[in-house]
Amino acid sequence: GDLDEIQRGIALTTECAELAPTEPNCLLARAEQEQSLHRFPAARADADRARELGGDPTRVGDLVAELDWNEGRYEGSIAHFREARQQRPSTGTWLREAQLEHDLGGDEAAERAFERAEDRVADTAPFPIAHLNLQRGMHEVDRGRLEEACVFFRESIARMPTYVAALEHLAETLRALGRDAEAMTLYEQVTRLSTDPEFAFALATLYDAHDRKAEAATLHEKARAGYEALLQTYPEAMYWHASEYFAAKGDAKRALELLQKNLVLRPNSGSYVALAKVLLTLGRIPEAADAIDKALGMPLKSAALFWTAARVKR
């Protein structure tokens, strides 16, 4: 998740494409990194060019399906993910189907798919199972099963003790359970491993809650400066994340501005729900209703969707 490292990957694959302009794998590798930074038009252009150059149709198809998903083109991408799992059963394709079932509101189907994904693990490297357990933990959080989520996050960390995403999700979940001391220790570890301002802000709010005001103030300033810097360098990747920060800080207008830019890039269900929530905060009810109606018209189902819809329409 280090954005500078992803940008380094783009620079290297760009050099590859310049040295070998007819090599589709250079373009596909760059497209995958561009997608990670939410540079979706550039990623799609590289995928299209790689297809023209005879690139691996499976790899191209998987990438295009993810791009379609981000853009709210669900019908084709859902069909692709299901077909991929049927034709190429693996940890990766079963995991993607588990995530799909989760997003469609099929909790039991998601559980079965997660189990099948774990059954397929054959790699002795720690990352595949650590990532799988992270995803399972996130699934349990969304179901409100926080203790169960902690089990999966701890399993992930056992495989990779410095896995920032797992450490951060465990800290967040422990805080939701009221176990602030444990959460604080984990966030302190995370902020030593990562410069992501999200984690500095989370730790600052914990320090505030426990009367460590001076330390909190330092971290609040670090988080603010960090978000502003990342918005300058990686705007597309930061629109949504930064909007959550500004909303939490009480700056709903700034959050709205960022979410409107995010929606241009990703006109999907989650983007419309996030937009509706901020519009509701600002008292712009007709616009919030329009946004939530667009989300309700899409196949994805979540508690956040229905909770936001209930608040908009009450």
Residue 70 in this model has a pLDDT that exceeds 90: yes
Query: For the segment 168-200, what is each residue's pLDDT rounded down to a tens digit?
Result: 999 999 999 999 999 999 999 999 999 999 999
- Encoding tokens for residue 117? 């994904």
What gap in Å lies between CA 91 and CA 105, rounded to an integer? 21
**The tokens of 82 are what?**
């299901």
Ramachandran assignment for 283, one of left (phi > 0), alpha (psi -120 to 50 degrees), beta (any other): left
CA angle 48, 51, 52 (to 5 degrees): 90
- Rounded CA-CA distance 314/199 in Å is 34
Q: Would you state the pLDDT for residue 123? A: 84
| Residue 165 near residue 195, CB atoms below 8 Å | no
Please give the pLDDT value at position 181: 97
Q: 0.85 cut: is pTM over it?
A: yes
Task: List pLDDT tens digits, range 245-265.
Answer: 999 999 999 999 999 999 999
Residue 1 has pLDDT above 80, yes or no: no
Section 296-300 average pLDDT: 97
Query: Average pLDDT in the 54-62 region?
Result: 97
